[in-house]
Amino acid sequence: MTAVDFIDLASDTKTRPTAAMRAAMAAADVGDERAHEDPSVNRLLARCAALLGKEAAVFLPSGTMANEIALAVHCRPGDAVLCDATSHLIGFEGGGPAALAGVMIEPIGGRRGIFDAQALRAAIRADAPYAPRQRLVVVEQTSNLGGGAVWPRATLDDVAAVAHAAGLATHMDGARLLNACVASGVAAADHARGYDSVWIDFSKGLGAPGGAVLAGSRAFCDEAFRIKLRWGGAMRQSGIIAAACEYALDHHVERLAEDHAHARRFAESVAGVPGIAIAPGDVETNLVYFDVDAVAGGAAAFVAALQARGVRMVAMGPARVRAVTHLDVDAGAIERAGALVRAFCEEKRQNTL
């Protein structure tokens, strides 16, 4: 099997810079980013601050660092952060909220990673010296474990209003915010308007080799930059990476719609296959989640068998599997992936007869 034949649906982080993006990186005008002297970084920050409707922005190596810095700026050790029970903060950041910011997480049960204003209101309590002080509300747009679900703008606005009325700050994990923008037709600044801080990632569907931009008020970003230096996040001549991010904004945002269409097509192609349970109507963006039964071997065995046949996906639980579309996977690859899944499940069914 060649690299061309292999279909990698493990994550949109598997994207590789295109030839044109590499050329933009090679031609980047650079300087010392730590001293605010990199023109490519400065241009990207001004552009992202405007895109997100915020006063200022900070360039960071990763989205996880963006989340962790935001917690450290908004909170003090011992404070509590409210977020959905499926949040990236809880399951995929190596215990960073506790280890780095010293905060406690108070999860809220939502639907597909989305909680509403009523659920938040019920989770907010009166301040008392024997309980952790609730300080911050976090939303994740789109919701990863929610299957790429898009928070409706009205829900975002209502949640932010409840949080602010209670004296809490708000933060948006915008790892796939631009997927939400393309799917909903709502501008990034409108999604983020009720949130004191927000970030976007360039290393997922946008296809850059790294980089994230965290935005907020000038005072917030000044403190975020201080923590970035403390945690070793300065990158010196990082305009090389910023050039890739800017190229992605110019060329890879609108095409996210192709990834969404490919995700829907993949979901439709495996719907109704014996051994697989999936709701194609739940596929809003580029994430596809489905369950496999014991006949198909459970998630781990299913994923291993499909990878041996040329399709890589990820087991997300005993029965849960995730597939993610991105710019390195075209329509033909999606059709082949669906066919390989169908053939495997039919083979397993025949073996049980």
Task: Flag whether pLDDT at 2 surpasses 80.
Answer: no
The kind and range of the H/E element at 108 are: strand 104-108
Q: What is the mean pLDDT of the chain?
A: 96
Q: Are residues 44 and 155 in the same domain?
A: yes
| pLDDT tens profile 210-238 | 999 999 999 999 999 999 999 999 999 99
C-alpha to C-alpha distance for 175 and 178, rounded to whole angstroms? 8
Is residue 120 in a domain?
Answer: yes
Closest-CA residue to 216 (of 11, 13, 60): 60
Provide the pLDDT for residue 55.
98
Provide the pLDDT for residue 349.
76
Query: Tokens 């037709």 label which residue?
Result: 185
**Considering the chain, what percentage of its residues have pLDDT values greater than 90?**
94
CATH number at residue 162: 3.40.640.10
Q: Are residues 111 and 162 in the same domain?
A: yes
Q: Are residues 279 and 348 in the same domain?
A: yes
Domain span including residue 313 = 255-352
Task: Flag whether pLDDT at 340 surpasses 70.
Answer: yes
β-sheet bridge partners, residue 277: 291
**Residue 258 neighbours by CB under 8 Å, 6+ apart:** 327
Q: Are residues 246 and 309 in the same domain?
A: no
Closest-CA residue to 245 (of 13, 33, 48): 48
Q: Are residues 202 and 306 in the same domain?
A: no
Q: Are residues 68 and 146 in the same domain?
A: yes
- Residue 353's Cβ-count burial label (10 Å; 0-12, 13-18, 19+) is exposed
Q: Are residues 241 and 269 in the same domain?
A: no
Q: Are residues 103 and 179 in the same domain?
A: yes
| pLDDT tens profile 168-215 | 999 999 999 999 999 999 999 999 999 999 999 999 999 999 999 999
Beta strands in 250-353, from DSSP E residues, in sequence order = 276-277, 287-292, 311-312, 314-315, 320-324
| pLDDT tens profile 101-132 | 999 999 999 999 999 999 999 999 999 999 99
Residue 142: asked if its preceding bond is cis (omega within 30°), the reply is yes
| pLDDT tens profile 15-60 | 999 999 999 999 999 999 999 999 999 999 999 999 999 999 999 9
C-alpha to C-alpha distance for 204 and 202, rounded to whole angstroms? 6
Closest-CA residue to 220 (of 243, 199, 189, 245): 199
| pLDDT tens profile 235-249 | 999 999 999 999 999
Report yes or no: 275 and 293 within 8 Å, Cβ to Cβ. yes
Average pLDDT value for residue range 57-66? 97
Task: Give the model's confidence band at 330: pLDDT under 50 very low, under 70 low, under 90 confident, else very high.
Answer: very high
Task: Flag whether pLDDT at 1 surpasses 60.
Answer: no
Last residue of a domain, one of 203, 227, 251: 251
C-alpha to C-alpha distance for 61 and 64, rounded to whole angstroms? 9
Is residue 14 in a domain?
Answer: no
With b meaning 16 or more CB within 10 Å and e meaning fewer, what string describes 234-260? bbebbbbbbbbbbbbbebbbeebebbb
Provide the pLDDT for residue 3.
59
Is residue 137 in a domain?
Answer: yes
Q: Are residues 265 and 244 in the same domain?
A: no
* Its pTM surpasses 0.75: yes
